[in-house]
Amino acid sequence: MEKYVLITGGTKGIGKAIAECLGKSGYNLILTYASDKKNAVTVQHELEQHYSIFTKLLQADITQGESVEKINRFLIEENVYLDALIFNAGMTCRSPFEEIKEDDWLQVFYANVHFPVFLMQRIITRMKAGGSIVFTGSLMGIEAHSVSLAYGVTKSAVHALVKNLVKFLVPYQIRVNAVAPGFVDTEWQKNKPEEIRRNIERKVALGRFCDPMELAEVYKLLIENSYLNGEIIVVDGGYSYK
């Protein structure tokens, strides 16, 4: 039986690694992207070249409410029922506390919290019983984050959302969990100044950033282990151990 997974933000960074991990295991993929169509098409071709799977792209901006109906309409038109839904796309605001604008604050909340809620509400009946929803939380939703107040607070909200959703998803026989990554070696992190990277590595027991594929395996575990439910799995390599 064919398996289908929708990954928001599935063409870059962590999302791309998850797509590769699941594609390798035979999952058909629906990947959303915000605006970089050229990169998205390249990723699609790479996945189709390496794995004999169905791979579709869908442009969907998580800061825009119309994206909810756009995704729902796509699933209906393609007659797809999902085995898993992965909320990977997110956004941040790095303005200093004293300079945060209300519109920017609200946009981060919409992208990271509101959009997932209302997408789930819209497409829940297009998920198979026994399916799995996996959120991307963050270590910054647990540890104080001095760089982005909005990001840290919304990721804390994501963790709380997962815990609360467990009861609401019982009638649909769908599990819900989250991965809370620490520092993952995506392009975003690779572009940090070397001194900042070394400072982070000194705080990690394993002495290095997480490889994206190591993290992707945790998403796969949460999809496939039928007894994990309501969990926030922290993957930080032992951050702040000393």
Q: What is the pLDDT of residues 32-85, one digit of tens each?
A: 999 999 999 999 999 998 998 999 999 999 999 999 999 999 999 999 999 999
Domains of the chain (ranges plus CATH)? 4-235 (3.40.50.720)
Q: What is the pLDDT of residues 216-237, one digit of tens each?
A: 999 999 999 999 999 999 999 9
Residue 234 main-chain phi, psi, to 5 deg: -85, 130
The DSSP 8-state label assigned to residue 176 in this structure reads E
SS3 assignment for 70-133: HHHHHHHHHCCCEEEEEECCCCCCCCCHHHCCHHHHHHHHHHHHHHHHHHHHHHHHHEEEEEEE
The 8-class DSSP code of residue 209 comes to: P
**Distance, CA of 156 to CA of 150 (rounded, Å):** 10
C-alpha 94/C-alpha 149 separation (Å) is 8
